[in-house]
Structure 1
Amino acid sequence: MKKPLIGASCSLLLAGAAGLTGITPAFAAQTPTATVAAVDFAGTVALSNCSGSLIRMPSSVATDPALILSNGHCLETGFPAAGQVLTNRSSNRSFSLLNSSGSKVATLRANKMVYGTMTDTDVSIYQLNTTYAAIKSSYGINPLTVAATHPVAGTAIKVVSGYWKRIYSCNADAFVYRLKEGAWTWKDSMRYTSSCNTIGGTSGSPVVDVATGQVVAVNNTGNEDGASCTDNNPCEVDQNGTVTVRQGINYAQQTYWIPGCFGTGNKLDLAKAGCALPKP
């Protein structure tokens, strides 16, 4: 995790991925198959400083207000403090929506930052001033579905960066009990195999399960210099407190616990039974 980019020539940040799902008056049910469309840039977005994606929950319908997923450390208001959870803040942030080839097709705009935190996870979710149906009708772009189940080690994944228009391919290597970086601690983080050598600006990228086309994590950090538990150098901590440093290895925060915190109309409901996101 690094400071958000101000321009392409500034210090780099992390993130990435994309998947497809059809839009009908109620989204068509998705049954994972071995013939899911190839992962590309369709539905990913570029922020001013990070990457992100246009997402839907498994229960979302086409007439719901659309949502954007990125990192908590990509918020335009700066990094949330450890222990801080932000909800339902006014925002007019803009996002560049990409098509399958990575070309910009539209500028989308938020009317609300629904949820943002760097505690236990590193996530931000924005609500747009338009619906999935309107985006599909105007630009032919479908949202990516956030999977509601925990991914498994060995899963083939792609990290899709809208900021850099670059796709990284690797596997989910393992899941880390605690990942510590500076003041922040994240739970059950996904560690990549080494071929996902993500760079600054990929922060917030969707991590897509190649077999299902669904988002299973959001890219957020990596150990750059081999230091232990410092900014830009996260360390792994197991249940016994043993610390491991893996220089050059990158990580993402799982997203399966997000759908359980959203109800009808894509409304955030942190009191919903089974919601595991940190509360304010």
Structure 2
Amino acid sequence: MSISFNNRVAIVTGAGGGLGRSHALGLAARGVKLVVNDLGQDGKPSESALAVVEEIKNLGGEAFANGANVADWDQVKAMVDETMQRWGHVDILVNNAGILRDKSFVKMSLDDFRLVMDVHVMGTVNCTKAVWDIMREQQYGRIAMTSSSSGLYGNFGQSNYGAAKMAVVGLMNTLHLEGQKYGIHVNTLSPTARTEMTENIIAKEVLELMTVESVSAALLYLVCDEAPSRLILCAGAGGYASTRIYETEGIYLPVDQQTPEHIAEEIDRIVDADNQALFQMGSEQTIKFVNKAAEALGVKI
């Protein structure tokens, strides 16, 4: 199988370095035209974004740099407008831009919590909203969110980052449903790569395996023509896995037993993983509970 992109146009946010740069270079190597977004000053792209554009051009690709702050709607809209004026379509959006403000929750200021949420959540919302109608009209789109194990599972000192990274998964779940009939596929990358944080806690020999390129391979899969939708793909050090959210079968309690005491007595049955299900819509949970109640009460619905 050969992964193809067929002359697509992509916007990659936070692409001046690290994973974003790797994503952009990987896409460009396969013929994708790139908007290399990285926060600059006074609306101008960063020097690192300009350097990535030069790398792409030296490889024979097409790209331009953009310095929009993803948390600013007007700047994001201007970036997308410039892309449309230049190339006439936007096919791929990689929501990669992000920041860290790590502290334990007790020491974290609300300003730092809000800033991380603004960049990761509203930055993702702004960029996705700016391309959504374009993708609907052209009946094609590939959007990648960037989550993290800190959001999926938690990480000490990252309450703001973890909350933001779980929020984009919820956004993916709904946009997957809303984009289906328009050919828009929405997925999430959960990466782990060599960073300043991991350099102090992971052996050097292992760090050498945690390349950004190994993660970008997963990203390219998530945004290619053949991509699925609503997949959380985890990647790092050459390892690839998927995180999926299941709901246990659960139980029904009669009205006179719907108390915290009875829930405590039945908690083992409630969390029993046998017959757990992978739901596609939130309404499936409601239907399950209503059917259990109707069956217990002998009510036909």
Which of the pair has more CA radius of gyration?
A: 2
Question: TM-score w.r.t. structure 2 length?
Answer: 0.25
Higher relative contact order (CA 8 A, sep 6+): 1
What TM-score do the two structures reach when normalised by structure 1? 0.26
